[in-house]
A and B are shown apart, each in its own frame.
Chain A
Amino acid sequence: MTAPTWKNPLVKWVDTRLPIFTFMHHDLIDYPTPKNLNYMWNFGSLLGIILVIMIATGIFLSFNYTAHVDLAFDSVERIMRDVNHGWLIRYLHMNGASMFFLVVYIHIFRGLYYGSYKAPRELLWIIGVAILLVMMATAFDGYVLPWGQMSFWGATVITNLFSVIPFVGDKIVIWLWGGFAVDNPTLNRFFSLHYLLPFVIFGLVFLHIWALHTAKSNNPLGIDIKGDQDTIPFHPYYTIKDSFGFGVFLIIYLGITLFTPNLLGHPDNYIRANPLVTPAEIVPEWYFLPFYAILRAVPDNFIDIFGLLPVIIDAKTSGVVLMFASILILCLLPWLDRSKVRSAKFRPIYRQLFWIFLADCLVLGWVGAKPAEGTMLIIGRVATFWYFFHLLILVPLVSKYEKTRDLPESINASVLSKRTEIQVPAE
């Protein structure tokens, strides 16, 4: 692709010294995009916009927030009651976090369905997993800031997870807290990190897009771009399609924010943090529930069942290890799945497994919201088992033995044949 010639002298002057306009032109306007992307490809750019919304609302909230255990709760309520439009910005930020995760999960499952993690996009996928991890850390830090009951007890429970690290665990927890319990030093550093991490995400997103534009976008057929006839420029085709998708998203996002803003939150977080009273149930935000279920799934007699494991790993430790493994394992996916065919469209068995895996993750989320006892515990264990069984055993096996369907010749040919299909009944 040739660099565009700039007519505006100022633009030209800047561009010859720092080709930022050429760069933007290549990546936002000219970027050759497969012409057959469906609406599942809307969520990537949408996530970029949500990140900007979160950073903007967050910065404006920080103008009025006070990171001190005695003042944090009241400062948030002051934002809700006395600061001009404070309630709007705060509810946008609060529900924006939920939307962020909802969209990122759709984005991830789209990648799983269409094999977007496979060569040459392995690194793109791994950067994506890194973004997910930093997002989780950011969301967790942010949830602590209002200093409600769930803030406090969530922080206590999650930071305590680090106590399982052999030998130095207890010291690490004290180091994380900056004291001997979750208290003012903890709140202060969480606020600082909550302000910092979004910019780390921003940097990772930049790398993610760079890697994407190097390997080019995957598409619903999962076949490579063979030439110019397979692609269309990003602008105006995908700018308008993404804008439309953003409009639909805004209707849902603002609908929730303005009509039922506390739907996705926990009522207990409107009670001021009290280190002396634990809520009846400590439940994380909905987007952490599947991981919370995995955390609690490990039976106490785990070692008896698998007598071969080192004895130092008790139930708590293995729960924590499993939880972190459930995310990190995704980094290995490009190598666990050996199938040359990317899209599940042409992989009859993997496609069924995909839907079972999605259902499994939803079941984990549902179990995570319930007390870990009785049937719930058993369902949680089965679902946890399936999560790892799917990724570590089924995916490699299926990719080896599955008989895939024939791939179409090219993206363009597929689009053309679809067009005739649609036109037939019309005639």
Chain B
Amino acid sequence: MNMKTMITRLGTFLLIASWCTAVQAAGGATPPPKLDWSFKGPFGVFDRAQLKRGWQVYNEVCSGCHSINQIYYRHLEQIGYSSEEVKKLAAEAEIPAGPNEDGETHEDGEVIVRAGKPFDKIKMPFQNDAAARAANNGALPPDLSLTTKAHPAGVDYISAVLTGYKDPPSGYKMNEGMYYNAFYAGKQIAMPNPLSDDAVEYVDGTKASAQQMAVDVSAFLAWAAEPEMEDRKRLGIKIILFLIVLTSLLYALKRRIWSDVH
């Protein structure tokens, strides 16, 4: 058996196997529609204006319930804010100051706070999971740092869920305190529709339709999950080009060295 036949056969097996897998994968919740994101593909980059709008949506809407634990204020410089702007953004948040000189963290029953600094984590809405559940009918709003990496459909899934609220089909049995959303696993979600037209007033003047906000905040969350994406792709293109040159040279040298064997 020669190499070609072997490779062809192996290829056929893999093809069949992957086809079967693809057939299997469809099922469960409605698959989210694939949107055209600026950061898709090997050359795609984030749209900084969109990320800033997305941050605004997160900050003004989502952050009421959802933490974004892996992001620090200083990270916002990466989406186009200057260090001065970041300082101001951070200072708007009240961060628990920790024990004071007398070892106290509370004063008159209130947590002692200080203004946020760029090196602080983005302020968390609740002190702990139990507090988050208590405020949300027992449901825990998940942390948003890695949402697009934590779902197979990624960023498309987030934007689909945010725009997927509908009235349940007639006769559909809804559980108490749940909302119908075809894109969510089980089609019932504990989060009420968070976005309505003009829920925020965009700084850059873009019309804040619910659809626009959903897409913007999804892009922001994609950045939050993979802030290294642009560096990664840029490096990738350089490295692959370099390796093609090196490998071609190695192949030419191999041919030459082997020319006296066959």
Proximity string of chain A (380-400) to chain B, C-beta cutoff 8 Å, 1 when within and 0 when not: 000000000000000000000
Stretch at the interface among A117-125, A179-187, A259-267, A331-339: A259-267
Distance, CA A344 to CA B231, complexed state (A): 47
- Cβ of B24 within 8 Å of any chain A Cβ, yes or no, is yes
Question: Of all chain A residues, which has the CB nearest B146?
Answer: A270
- Cβ of A175 within 8 Å of any chain B Cβ, yes or no, is no
Contact between B149 and A237, CB atoms less than 8 A apart = no
- Cβ of B258 within 8 Å of any chain A Cβ, yes or no, is yes
How far in angstroms is the closest Cβ of chain A from B189? 16
User: Which residues of B204-262 are within 8 A (CB) of A?
Assistant: 225, 227-228, 231-233, 235-236, 239-240, 243-244, 246-247, 250-251, 253-254, 257-258, 261-262
Contact between A267 and B152, CB atoms less than 8 A apart = yes
Contact between A258 and B236, CB atoms less than 8 A apart = yes
Please classify the interface of chain B as helix (H, G, I), strand (E, B), loop, or mixed, using the class held by over half of its residues: helix
Task: Give every chain A residue within 8 A of B146 (Cβ-Cβ).
Answer: 77, 270-271
- Cβ of B185 within 8 Å of any chain A Cβ, yes or no, is yes
Contact between A268 and B3, CB atoms less than 8 A apart = no
Stretch at the interface among A46-54, A200-208, A358-366: A358-366
Assuming the A-B contacts A236-B257, A267-B149, A370-B24, are A81 and B70 also in contact, with contact meaning beta carbons closer than 8 angstroms in the complex? yes
User: Which residues of B1-60 are within 8 A (CB) of A?
Assistant: 1, 3, 9-10, 13-14, 17, 20-21, 24, 42
Of the candidates B145, B231, B233, B250, the one whose C-beta lies within 8 Å of that of A243 is: B250
How far in angstroms is the closest Cβ of chain B from A233? 11
Of the candidates B42, B185, B228, B262, the one whose C-beta lies within 8 Å of that of A81 is: B228
Contact between A81 and B227, CB atoms less than 8 A apart = yes
Assuming the A-B contacts A243-B250, A244-B251, A255-B236, are A418 and B185 also in contact, with contact meaning beta carbons closer than 8 angstroms in the complex? no
Question: Of all chain A residues, which has the CB nearest B186?
Answer: A280
How far in angstroms is the closest Cβ of chain B from A149? 9
- Cβ of B151 within 8 Å of any chain A Cβ, yes or no, is yes
Task: Give every chain A residue within 8 A of B20 (Cβ-Cβ).
Answer: 366
Contact between A345 and B1, CB atoms less than 8 A apart = yes
- Cβ of A11 within 8 Å of any chain B Cβ, yes or no, is no
Of the candidates B233, B246, B251, B261, the one whose C-beta lies within 8 Å of that of A35 is: B261
- Cβ of A39 within 8 Å of any chain B Cβ, yes or no, is yes
Task: Give every chain B residue within 8 A of A419 (Cβ-Cβ).
Answer: 262
Task: Give every chain B residue within 8 A of A257 (Cβ-Cβ).
Answer: 236
A-B contact count (CB 8 A): 106
Of the candidates A81, A232, A259, A366, the one whose C-beta lies within 8 Å of that of B233 is: A259
Question: Of all chain B residues, which has the CB nearest A369?
Answer: B21
- Cβ of A415 within 8 Å of any chain B Cβ, yes or no, is yes
Contact between A267 and B150, CB atoms less than 8 A apart = yes
Contact between B10 and A358, CB atoms less than 8 A apart = yes
- Cβ of B88 within 8 Å of any chain A Cβ, yes or no, is no
- Cβ of B75 within 8 Å of any chain A Cβ, yes or no, is yes
User: Which residues of A77-94 are within 8 A (CB) of B?
Assistant: 77, 80-81, 87-88, 91
Contact between A271 and B243, CB atoms less than 8 A apart = no
Assuming the A-B contacts A81-B70, A237-B257, A247-B243, are A268 and B236 also in contact, with contact meaning beta carbons closer than 8 angstroms in the complex? no
- Cβ of A312 within 8 Å of any chain B Cβ, yes or no, is no
Proximity string of chain B (126-155) to chain A, C-beta cutoff 8 Å, 1 when within and 0 when not: 000000000000000011011001111000
Assuming the A-B contacts A240-B257, A280-B185, are A358 and B13 also in contact, with contact meaning beta carbons closer than 8 angstroms in the complex? yes
Assuming the A-B contacts A240-B250, A247-B250, are A38 and B232 also in contact, with contact meaning beta carbons closer than 8 angstroms in the complex? no
Contact between B24 and A241, CB atoms less than 8 A apart = no
User: Which residues of A201-260 are within 8 A (CB) of B?
Assistant: 232, 236-237, 240-241, 243-244, 247-248, 250-251, 254-255, 257-259
Assuming the A-B contacts A38-B3, A366-B21, are A251 and B225 also in contact, with contact meaning beta carbons closer than 8 angstroms in the complex? no
Assuming the A-B contacts A88-B232, A258-B235, A261-B232, are A344 and B240 also in contact, with contact meaning beta carbons closer than 8 angstroms in the complex? no
Question: Of all chain B residues, which has the CB nearest A35?
Answer: B261
Contact between A362 and B17, CB atoms less than 8 A apart = yes
Question: Of all chain A residues, which has the CB nearest B246?
Answer: A247
Proximity string of chain A (325-358) to chain B, C-beta cutoff 8 Å, 1 when within and 0 when not: 0000000000000000000110000010001001
Distance, CA A369 to CA B23, complexed state (A): 13
Of the candidates B21, B239, B261, the one whose C-beta lies within 8 Å of that of A237 is: B261
Contact between B261 and A267, CB atoms less than 8 A apart = no
Contact between B243 and A254, CB atoms less than 8 A apart = yes
Question: Of all chain B residues, which has the CB nearest A241?
Answer: B254
Contact between A250 and B235, CB atoms less than 8 A apart = no
Contact between B254 and A244, CB atoms less than 8 A apart = yes
How far in angstroms is the closest Cβ of chain B from A102? 12
Distance, CA A38 to CA B145, complexed state (A): 48
Of the candidates A74, A88, A261, the one whose C-beta lies within 8 Å of that of B70 is: A74
Contact between B228 and A87, CB atoms less than 8 A apart = yes
Distance, CA A365 to CA B188, complexed state (A): 33
Task: Give every chain A residue within 8 A of B24 (Cβ-Cβ).
Answer: 370
User: Which residues of A54-110 are within 8 A (CB) of B?
Assistant: 74, 77, 80-81, 87-88, 91
Question: Of all chain B residues, which has the CB nearest A255?
Answer: B240
Distance, CA A359 to CA B225, complexed state (A): 37
Distance, CA A74 to CA B71, complexed state (A): 11
Q: Which 5 A-B pairs have the closest CB atoms?
A: A258-B236, A247-B247, A270-B150, A87-B228, A244-B250
Known: A244-B250, A257-B236, A419-B262. 16 other contacts (CB 8 A): A77-B70, A77-B146, A88-B232, A240-B253, A240-B254, A241-B258, A244-B247, A247-B243, A248-B247, A251-B243, A258-B239, A267-B152, A271-B142, A272-B143, A366-B20, A369-B21
What residues of chain B have their CB less than 8 Å away from a CB belonging to chain A? 1, 3, 9-10, 13-14, 17, 20-21, 24, 42, 69-70, 75, 142-143, 145-146, 149-152, 185, 225, 227-228, 231-233, 235-236, 239-240, 243-244, 246-247, 250-251, 253-254, 257-258, 261-262
* 9 sample A-B contacts, Cβ–Cβ < 8 Å, listed by A number: A77-B146, A81-B227, A87-B231, A236-B257, A240-B254, A247-B251, A248-B247, A272-B143, A362-B14
